[in-house]
Every structure is written in structure tokens, then in C-alpha cells.
Amino acid sequence: MLKTRIITAVVALLVLGVVLFLIPPWATEIFVGLVILAAAWEWSAFVGLSAIAARIFYVLLIALSCAVPYLLLPASSQLVLQIACAWWIVAFIWTFFYPTAIPTVVRWIAGVLVLAPAFTALILLFRSGAEYLLFALLIVWAADAGAYFAGKLFGRVKLAPGISPGKTWEGVIGGLLVVALLATATANWADVRLAVLLPFCLAVAVVSIIGDLTVSMFKRTAGIKDSGTLFPGHGGVLDRIDSVSAAAPLFALGLAWLSLV
């Protein structure tokens, strides 16, 4: 299983390198949009849709919710990102009360709140510079990898057993320690104040964990283990971008607030 995960991750990194640095910017933005729409297709199963026409309708709904702010960028960015951050605060509180019934209409709306701001944030970061988008992804990956290995080695105390039984507090601490190392190395390399970058990166990492738990909550409500099977050993698109969906809006908003871009 670990070998499969590593091979898939390496292939994904190679594809990401091509997408961020080798193809034209317009093609990169189309690629990001297609990733979000693939995630929307998977989210349509959380809503309870099974007919292909109904699932396509939901994908089109997400496409519209992405297209409107996209056409208004950068004017719409602050509002969209602030709405996203407000949503993730609500989602964080929500996880404390799970299991709770999630009405279908809430699942419809939640998909928009998860995916549309993520698209806006990723496009903004890419337009600011591919290195910013890459760094945001590195924070998420560092938190995820650190949590995975620390959890395997030291995990005892469950983080949210009703939502994701495999996650532990020891894993969270391990993930945050790896992110702290990443932030320290980046601060030294980029000549950025560590006192600013470290708490910022840790906040982004914490929000990425909330994103993971939130999507897991919706999967459990829908009775689904993995959102898809596109990535061997990793699941579907949503299984790969759940953390990114939460982290990217905060990262994009924080760059402007902290004058890091």
C-alpha cells in the first residue's frame, strides 16, 4: 500500500511540474478547472445523485459558481476568500457535533462552498507566481506526510474517531512539526521573517486538516469510503484536494494581509 502511494505521488508530482512550469498559463488554468470539475462529479455522489444527467447538472452548477468570480477577478477575490474562510470556521465547529444529520440541500451548498473558492484561490496563487501555489501545496503535503508517518509510529489518541478513525493527535503534532521545519527553511531561503511565516504556515496546515475532516464527514454521511479511484492508493480527486480546498483560500488571503506577495 505504501509503495503504491509513493509511486502515485511521484507521478502526480511530475504532472504538477509540467502543469505549473512547462505549459502555457491558460492551459494551467484550464487544468485547474478540470480538477475542480472532477471533484464536483465526486461530490455529486455525496449529495445522493446517481443518475448521470443529475450528476452532470451538479457539475455544471459548480462550473457556474467558479466561472462568475473567475470572470470578475481580481475584484471578486477578497469576498470569495473571506466567505471560504467563514465556511471553514463553521465546518470546524461542525466536526465537534458529528455525527449529525446533513440535509440534502446543505450538501448541495457545501459543495459550492468547498470547491468554488478553492478554484478562485488556486487561480489567484498561480497568477501571483507558480512558486506561491507550489508552496501552498508543499505546506499541505508536509502536514499530510508528517501526520501519516507520525501517526503510524506514535499514534495513540484519536483525533476524530467518528469521522476519521485513522487520524491521531500524535499525527497532527508530527505534521505540524514538519510544516514548522518547512517554514523555517523557507524563511531562511527567501529572507522572510520567521516570526511572520511560521504562524502563517501552521495556520494553513491546521485549516488543511479541517478540510480533510470535513470532506471525510460528508463521505461518511453518504456512506462512501473513498470519493473515487483515480489515484491508486490515494482514492479520488476529492481525497487528494480536500486539504488543499481549505488551505488555499486562507493561504491566498494571508499572502495579501501579511504583504508576502
pLDDT digits (tens, 9 = 90+) for 7-31: 777 887 888 889 989 999 999 999 9
- Report, as an integer, the average pLDDT of 79-83: 94
- The whole domain housing 78 covers 2-257
The count of domains in the chain is: 1
What pLDDT was estimated at residue 42? Answer: 93
- What's the mean per-residue pLDDT of the chain? 90
Q: Are strands 158-160 and 164-168 parallel, antiparallel or unpaired?
A: antiparallel
Contact 170, 157 (CB under 8 A): yes
Query: Of 8-17, 100-109, 147-156, 186-195, which gets the smallest average pLDDT?
Result: 8-17
| Residue type at 120 in one-letter notation | T
Contact 260, 190 (CB under 8 A): no
Q: How confident is the model at residue 226 (pLDDT cuts 50, 70, 90)?
A: low
What pLDDT was estimated at residue 76? Answer: 79
- Report, as an integer, the average pLDDT of 28-37: 96
